[in-house]
Structure 1
Amino acid sequence: MQRIGRVAMISLHTSPLDQPGTGDAGGMNVYVVELARRLARQGIEVDVFTRATSSSVDPVVQLADGVTVRHIHAGPFEGLTKNELPGQMCVFAREVLRTEAMFPVGHYDVIHSHYWLSGQVGALAADRWGVPLVHSMHTMAKVKNAALADGDAPEPAQRVIGEEQVVEAADLLVANTGIEAGQLLDLYDADPARVEVVHPGVDTELFRPLGPAARAAARAARGIPQDAIVPLFAGRIQPLKAPDVLLRAIAVLLDREPALRERLVVPVVGGPSGSGLEHPTALADLAAGLGIADVVRFVPPVAQDELAEWYAAATLVAVPSYNESFGLVAIEAQAAGTPVVAADVGGLGTAVRDGRSGLLVADHDPSTWATAIGRIAADPAFRDRLAAGARRHAVRFSWDATAAQSLAVYQRAQELMRSSAA
C-alpha cells in the first residue's frame, strides 16, 4: 500500500483561518483545521487551498507544523456571495494547478475536497495529477431544499447539478453519519461501495467540564448571575440554523412562567450569514417584537477557547437547525459538560443521545421547544444527569480517530483508482 505523504485539501469558499460563527465560516472550518492538524501529527503534510478574500493576507500561511494554507487569487477579494463563486472556479482551478506545477511530479498523493465548489476543482486537479479524489459534502442542496426554513431561499439548480457531478467524479465520498450516507445513496444515486462514514470529532481538552469555581468565574466574567438560567445559541445567524425558534420558545416559556424573567439570560453567540445577511437585524427585531429583548444578549463570534467558556456558563445549548450534517456545536457543548436541546434532524440524532446527553425535539414548534427547555431549567438534578451523560457521549468522538479513519479512506481511494486503471 502506497504511503500517504502529502494531502491537498481544497476549501474554496471559506478559509480555515476565518473565525467560525459568521459569514460562511462554521463547522466546516473547524473540521478542516482539526483534520489537517491531526494528519500532520501523523507525519502527513497538508496544503489547504482556499480563495483569498483580502489583499492583506499572505499568499502562504503556516497554520501549524505540517499544515500550510495557500491563498488563491480568484475574483475580487470582497463582495462575492457564495452563489457567485462558481464564476471563479476556473480561475481558482488554474491557480491550484499552477501551484502544484512548481513541485516535482507526484507531489500530492490524494485530494480531499470540502463542499461542492471545492469538489468541482478537486475533480479537475485529480484528473490532471493522476491522484484520487476524496470528497466531503458537509451540506447538500437536495437535503436543505427538502426542509427549508420560513423565508429561506432554496439552493439553486446550479448547485444541485454541481453536487451530482462531484458525486459521480469522486473516488470516495466521506459522510459524517450513516444518515448522510443514506442521503447520498437515496438522493444522489451514489455508489454504496464508494461511500464511507467518518464521524467528525471534538477537542476534548479544549471543550471540557469546568469545576464549580471555574464555572462561576465564567459566568462572572460575562456578567451572568450565578443563579441564572442560560439557554445559549452558538452559530451563524441564518434561517437554516433557526435561532428564531429559540427566541420564540423563550417567549412561550415566559408566558407560562413570568417569574423566570428575573433569572433568564439568553446569549446568541454568532454573526449574520447566508440569507441572514439580507436582514442583519432581523433576530434583534424579533426579540423586541416578542417582548424579550431584555433577556437576550447578542454576542459577536468568539474564538474557540472563549466559546468553551460560554458553553461552561450555559445551562443548556440549543441547536434548533432545520438540518445539520453532524452538528459540531452540539458535540462541543456536550464535551464541555453542557446538555443540548437539539432538533431531531440530520446528524443531530447521532451527535445527541436523547434523554442521556440532552433532548431531541421532533419539530420546530416553539411550544415543544419551550417544554424541553423548561424541563431542564426546572429540574437541576435532571440537568446534572444530562451533563454527566453529555461528557460521556462526547468523548466517543475524537479528531485523532477522525484523522485515522480519513487516512484509511485515502489509502482505499488509492487502491480503487489503481484497480480501475488496471
Structure 2
Amino acid sequence: MKRIGLISVHTCPLAVLGGKETGGMNVYVREVARHLGRLGLDVDVFTRRQTPGVPTVVPLGPGARVVHIEAGPQRPVPPAEIVVDLDEFIDGVAAFQRRTDTESALLHGHYWLSGLVAIELARRSRRIPVVQMFHTLGVVKNALADDPSEWVPQVRLDAEARVASQADRIVAATPLERAELAWYCGADDDRVRTIPCGVDVDLFSPGSAMAARARLGLDAQWVLLFVGRPAPIKGLEILLQALARLKADGFDRADLRLVIVGGDRDEGRDDERARLRAMADALGVGAWVDFKGPQPQPALPEYYRAADLCLVPSHHESFGMAALEAMACGAAVVASRVGG
C-alpha cells in the first residue's frame, strides 16, 4: 500500500478555523488527506503539537490520520519563530516513521515551513519525490504591505526560493499563482501544475435565507458577510469605509449588518479585531458591525445562506475559499480583482 506524507508544520488540519494561522489551508490539507484515504491510499498528516495532552495520532477517516510531532513549545507560535524547531520536527517525523515502519512514498508540503521539512526528509532517505503547495508567497505579501512592520522575514523568502527550486512538482491554485511562482521564486514552469481548489457541495449547498437568519439570530433586513482571518491583507477596513460612505450618503437604516466570521477565539488576544472594532466606532458604523469570532466549518453554510452579499475585499488572494463556499451556497459574491 502506498503511503503519502502530508506536512503542515505550523497549523493543524483539525484546528478551529478563522484564527490568525487557520483558514483555507487547514480545510485543504484535511480534505486532501481524507479523499486520498477514500481512494485507498494511506495518508499521514504531520503537524506540530500545539496543545498538551492531544493524542499523537488522531484518525481523519479511512486510511488517513493526523500525527502530532513534538517540536518546540506546545502552544501556537508565529511561523517565522518555528524555524528554530524544524530540526526537532524533522527528527520527530523520521522517528515516528521508523517506530511504526511507515515511510512515505511521496511527501506533500504545505506552506514554506513544510516545504523545508519535506526537502530535508527526502534528502535523508532514498530520493522520495516532493510535491509542494505554498498557499501564499511571502514576496507577494511584502509587495502589498502598507507598512514595513507587515513584511515577512528574509528567512521565509530564502526558504520559498529554495523549495521552489528543489521540489519535484509544485501545485498552484490559479494561473496567476503559477506565474508568480516563476516571476518571484524562479520556479521552472515545467514542474508547476495548476490545480484549482474544490468545495464540499454536500456541506455547502443552497438553503432558505430566512430560516438561516432565524437560526443564527440575525433580524437585519440586509446582511453583508465576511468570512476569514481579520488580517490587514484581507481588506476589512475597505468594508468599514464603504459603510461609512453609505451613512454619509444618507443611508441610516438600523437593520443593516456586516457580519464578520473569523478571528482569535480569545478576543482579548485579537489585536486586529480590536483595531477594526475601534475603527468601526470611529467611523460611526459600529452598530452595523457584528463580530462573530471563529466558527467551525459545519456552521459556515448557515452564514452564507443568510447573506445578501458575501464580500471578499482582499488586497490579494492565492485562491479565496470563502468565495467558492459562498457561491456553492447560492450567495452572491463581490470580490476584489486581485487573483484567486
Q: TM-score range by the shorter chain?
A: over 0.9
5+ long unaligned stretches in structure 1:
348-422
SS in 2 for 1:332: helix
Q: Equivalences for 1:63-102 in 2 at 5 Å? A: 63-78=60-75, 80-102=77-99
CA distance in 1, matches of 2:5, 2:140: 27
CA distance in 2, matches of 1:66, 1:131: 20
CA distance in 2, matches of 1:15, 1:279: 22
For the structure 1 residues 338 and 155, does the alpha-carbon distance in structure 2 shift closer, same or farther, using more than 3 Å as the test?
same
Aligned alpha-carbon RMSD (Å): 1.7
Q: Contact 1:9–1:113 (CA<8 Å) still a contact in 2?
A: yes
Q: Contact 1:149–1:242 (CA<8 Å) still a contact in 2?
A: no
1:100, distance to aligned residue in structure 2 (A): 1.5
Q: Equivalences for 1:299-338 in 2 at 5 Å? A: 299-338=292-331
CA distance in 2, matches of 1:216, 1:143: 40
SS in 2 for 1:63: strand
1:280, distance to aligned residue in structure 2 (A): 4.4
Q: Equivalences for 1:23-422 in 2 at 5 Å? A: 23-78=20-75, 80-104=77-101, 107-129=103-125, 130-149=127-146, 153-210=150-207, 214-225=208-219, 228-259=221-252, 261-272=253-264, 277-347=270-340
SS in 2 for 1:265: strand
1:278, distance to aligned residue in structure 2 (A): 4.3
Partner amino acid, structure 2, of 1:307: L
1:170, distance to aligned residue in structure 2 (A): 0.3
Partner amino acid, structure 2, of 1:282: R
1:225, distance to aligned residue in structure 2 (A): 2.6
Q: Normalized per residue, which structure has more helix? A: 1
CA distance in 2, matches of 1:225, 1:281: 24
CA distance in 2, matches of 1:135, 1:79: 23
CA distance in 1, matches of 2:210, 2:291: 21
CA distance in 1, matches of 2:145, 2:240: 19
1:263, distance to aligned residue in structure 2 (A): 2.5
SS in 2 for 1:201: coil
For 1:188-222, what per-residue CA distance to the aligned partner results, in whole angstroms no more than 9, with x for missing partners? Answer: 11111111111110011111111xxx321111122
For 1:348-403, what per-residue CA distance to the aligned partner results, in whole angstroms no more than 9, with x for missing partners? Answer: xxxxxxxxxxxxxxxxxxxxxxxxxxxxxxxxxxxxxxxxxxxxxxxxxxxxxxxx
5+ long unaligned stretches in structure 2:
none
Identity of aligned pairs, percent? 40
Q: Contact 2:3–2:104 (CA<8 Å) still a contact in 1?
A: yes
CA distance in 2, matches of 1:251, 1:180: 34
Partner amino acid, structure 2, of 1:199: P
CA distance in 2, matches of 1:251, 1:150: 24
CA distance in 2, matches of 1:8, 1:303: 25
TM-score in terms of structure 2 length: 0.95
For the structure 1 residues 209 and 152, does the alpha-carbon distance in structure 2 shift closer, same or farther, using more than 3 Å as the test?
farther
CA distance in 1, matches of 2:270, 2:218: 29
1:149, distance to aligned residue in structure 2 (A): 4.3
The alignment covers a number of residue pairs equal to 336
CA distance in 2, matches of 1:278, 1:299: 15
Which of 5, 23, 26 is equivalent to 1:8?
A: 5
